[in-house]
Chain A
């Protein structure tokens, strides 16, 4: 059961806020908003701007020297160093502020100056009256101190070090940040905040799990995301009634569209930079406390061919890389079946010398090709599974090395033909090329195709492929066709499928994902040397 933890007190949002909402709705005027003298109004205004941001902490308290003076601290949990805030700001102002003149309390009008001079044990601060600066400072990890009766805010430098995990043992990246999500939800939200310093980045928190009572956060960018999508995700999350969720995989299974399909319709990532990019395309992320794996919806099949490097390296290299990934997918799916079909049904496809050499190798092999490939595939899967269970370094040696050695031995012993071993091992290697979660689907489907190819040759294989294609066309992920933008084709979105359009030409967000505000950037960003006048 999900408990909606409302961080904003319902009663606080009064009429002032409604008016204010209208003001900030028009972007132009919000830039020039200045603070008011009233702390309450200021707080409410900030809360309106940062509504649905569950990681923002509002702490109002009373000044140690004068009970009339109310103070408020605003910062982002996880991004700001909360130890520093409580030790150096809170403690000083709420408990330990020295008397300016012994026995005489400070008046409201003197408070700001006094706090600035004597109240803060902090090395750096700034003053501002602009709302815009305040929001920016909060989102950057600074702490805002508002003093009742003053239209000035103090920005305290409290940017903490976000404790993320550096990517040392996971996938190596050619280029790009090494940071990874961790098991702590707050740190994870901070990691996202650090990349998208927009008040529109919304983080809504729920609880899920009757027993485990796990924190779960819904993250999206308001103004980019499709509102219906957010509502849909929320409604699906609210339907979850389970005793515990220990990993985001629980959530994935409970909210996906096609539970019987082998293809995952919910994507996941551990990389904050990738998540930021996905949020910016209008996706919704689901973070769960206790796991570094973040879910994203909707998930399109093409995502499995896109890697963060594609966006960090120069755009000209992408088509080649994506092509390799695509070919690897095809190989993973059909190469062993194709081999069976050709060798035991359609020999004519082989050039004469190749056929003769195949035939020569197969003279001594006791099994039909189908059985041979099947056994070899199973062996390879066993080795791969063993590799997953062993410590990482040994695991790799086992999965690849043992496969090679075993293959060579099987050939020498006359169990297997050389060509079979080549085909199976190459297929195994190719299945590592693209995203793991999709490759599982293909690896399983491969066995089905093996049977079809072993029975009906290429006709069986092609029928199998057709069924898979039709099946993938029936899939939808949160209302978005799984195979878009290929089928159905959405013209402009193809700019990120086969190739990646250069950044200066990628004008729009994916049409079927992003609800509104599809414009990514201004026209005419293409760099060119400045012409002489």
Chain B
């Protein structure tokens, strides 16, 4: 076993929340609202269904091969050569996704927090912090995450502080745009919730694998809850027209807060809470990529891979897109079919079908 640590179910839930939420809160609202307008929250509910389905698939698959991660059982199911090829694709996907996430973070920090700082500085720092956590293994990653996740509660606090700016009438009438835009709006959040696929890397290290279903479902539901909260927050403040026109609506919603007459402009604090979450989001994918590569290469220890993968991540995140317009367009058009259909739903579904039909995989933990 490459990873000796075990994490508890609560730690796993927190890790999954940190893995999905930080960038989802930032980028998803604008994209969804543009399509589904004031019914964006309904899109999230649809996306949650999809997320739950993917979570079910992943856990079902994972529990058929106890103590094995995605990269190990993929070979059991498909055989050595196809398994290796798919495994390589997944490594690429983890790297690519992570590079995107890092870029999103860099872009956000460079536009919203420190406009004059070169973006690569953020990338290097974020990857270095994540690398430090990853090097120390899953236990440390999830423990540090557990320690710092309470900052997510700030999202709820932001909601409460924004109430004076809100008007319920801004999300009415319901179902204005029709069913198709709502479903269309659900695609992008679904591709985010589908990141739960990464859970396949963590199932073997749960101290209570029996609770894997519960962990996956609860994570999806909690993420959806926070996502809905932040979308509703932006909608209730700005209405659908203005929300769709911001690039980071949640960030602008936070900018509206002022406590009393003197204490305002607190968004930087919230931003930093997100940044903190970002370390762990990047950390989880980083970990998945590193652990996956080590298993793919049949190494005895994954730590030598941490530094090279980190360098690849920094380089990739810089090279991958020219600017924010390019990035957002990619996230809106290419990402959902690429991530959702292929890596998050497609391959796991095929794997599950082959496993069930071919009766592969050992005992299933009930």
Contacts and interface: CB of A to CB of B under 8 A. Distances in A.
Indicate whether A and B interact.
yes
Contacts of B121: 456
A348 interface: yes
A510 interface: no
B113 A459 contact: yes
B114 A345 contact: yes
A346 B268 contact: yes
B45 interface: no
B272 A459 contact: yes
A457 B132 CA distance: 21
Contact of B276 (A346, A462, A489): A462
A460 interface: yes
B146 A489 contact: yes
Contacts of A174: none
B333 to A, nearest CB: 30
Interface string A320-345: 00000000000000000000000001
A346 B109 CA distance: 13
B205 interface: no
Interface string B119-142: 001100110010011001001110
Contacts of A486: 146-147
Interface stretch (A72-80, A136-144, A466-474): A466-474
Given A462-B272, A487-B143, A470 B114 contact: no
A470 B133 contact: yes
B263 A351 contact: yes
Contact of B143 (A345, A352, A465, A481): A481
Contacts, number: 82
Contact of A466 (B11, B144, B265): B144
Contact of A459 (B122, B132, B148, B264): B122
The bracket for how many chain B residues form the interface is 20 to 34
B121 to A, nearest CB: 7
A309 B125 CA distance: 42
Q: Secondary structure of the B side of the interface? A: helix
Interface string B152-187: 000000000000000000000000000000000000
A195 B146 CA distance: 38
A464 B129 CA distance: 9
Given A470-B136, A488-B8, A456 B147 contact: no
A351 B143 contact: no
Nearest to A457: B114
A352 B125 CA distance: 32
A392 interface: no
A463 B129 contact: yes
Contacts of A466: 129, 144, 148, 276, 279
A458 interface: yes
A469 B265 contact: no
Contact of B268 (A458, A460, A463): A458
B114 A488 contact: no
A473 B129 CA distance: 13
B11 to A, nearest CB: 7
A315 B136 CA distance: 38
A349 interface: yes
7 contacts: A349-B269, A462-B276, A465-B276, A466-B279, A470-B129, A473-B147, A486-B146
Interface of B: 8, 10-11, 109, 113-114, 117, 121-122, 125-126, 129, 132-133, 136, 139-141, 143-144, 146-148, 262-266, 268-269, 272, 275-276, 279
Given A348-B268, A469-B147, 17 more contacts: A345-B114, A346-B268, A349-B265, A456-B114, A456-B117, A456-B125, A457-B114, A459-B109, A462-B275, A465-B276, A466-B129, A466-B148, A470-B141, A473-B139, A473-B147, A487-B146, A489-B10
Interface of A: 345-346, 348-349, 351-353, 456-460, 462-463, 465-467, 469-474, 481, 483, 486-489
| The 7 A-B residue pairs with the shortest CB-CB distance in the complex, in nearest-first order | A351-B262, A473-B143, A487-B147, A487-B143, A473-B144, A487-B146, A470-B144
